[in-house]
Chain A
C-alpha cells in the first residue's frame, strides 16, 4: 500500500510540474499578444 501511495504521489508531482510550466508559458504568450493590440 505504501508503494502505491508513493506512486500516486509521483504522478501528482509530475502533473503539478506540467501544470505550472504550462501556466508560466501561457502567461508569457498572453503578455506578448497584448502588445499586438497597439499595432
Chain B
C-alpha cells in the first residue's frame, strides 16, 4: 500500500514536471505554426496581388490589341477615303491643305512606326493606279487638265523670272555706274573698288545663266505644250 502510494506520488511528480514542458513545447510549436501560417497567408496574399496585377496587365494588353486592330481597320477605311480625297483633290486643287491636315492628324495618332510604313508606301506617284471611282476616260481627262494647268503656271513662272532678269540687268548697270563714279572721285580705295567689281561680275554671270535657263526652259515648255496637244484623250460628246 505504501509502495503504491509512493509509486502514485512519483508518477504524479513526473507528470507535474513533464506537463509544463510539454505545454511549453506545444505553445512554442503553436506560435511557430501561427508564424508559418501568417507567412503563408502573406505569401498567398502577395501571390493573389501579383496574379491580380498580371490579369490587369493582360486585360490592358488585350484592350490595346483590340484598339490597334480597330485602328488598322479604320486606317484601311481612311486609306480608301484618301483615295477618294485624291480624286477630289484632282478635281479641285484647293483642297490640298485639308488633305494634308488629315494626314498629319493620322500620323500623330498612328505613331512613327506607321508613319514610316506610310512614307515607304508613298514613294513615287500613283498616277494611273489610284483612279478611285473615276472611269479610265474621266481619269485621263482629269490628268490632262491638271497637266495643262501646270504648263500654264510654269509659263507664268518664266515670265516672272524674265522680269527678275530685266531688273537684275538694270541693277548691275547702276552698280557699275556707282563704281565708275567712286573711281573718278577717288572716294574709295582701288582694292575696295576691285572687290565691288568682282561682285558685279559675279552678278552678271548669274544673270547670264538665268537668261540661258529661261531661253532653254521656254523652248522646253513650248515643246511640251505642243506634245500635250498631240495626246489623244477621249472627250465627252
> Which residues on the B side are within 8 Å of A7 (C-beta)?
227, 230-231
> Which residues on the A side are within 8 Å of B164 (C-beta)?
26, 29-30
> Which residues on the B side are within 8 Å of A31 (C-beta)?
206
Number of A-B pairs, beta carbon distance below 8 Å: 117
Q: How many Å from the CB of B52 to the closest CB on chain A?
A: 62
Q: Which of B170-195 contact A (CB under 8 A)?
A: 171-172, 174-175, 178-179
Residue B24, interface by CB 8 Å: no
Interface set of A (CB-CB < 8 Å, partner B): 1-2, 4-12, 14-16, 18-19, 21-23, 25-26, 28-33, 35-36, 39
> Which residues on the B side are within 8 Å of A12 (C-beta)?
146-147, 150
Residue B127, interface by CB 8 Å: yes
Q: How many residues of B contact A (CB 8 A)?
A: 50
Asked whether B217 lies within 8 Å of A1 as measured between CB atoms, the reply is: no
Asked whether A5 lies within 8 Å of B154 as measured between CB atoms, the reply is: no
Q: How many Å from the CB of B189 to the closest CB on chain A?
A: 14
Asked whether A25 lies within 8 Å of B221 as measured between CB atoms, the reply is: no
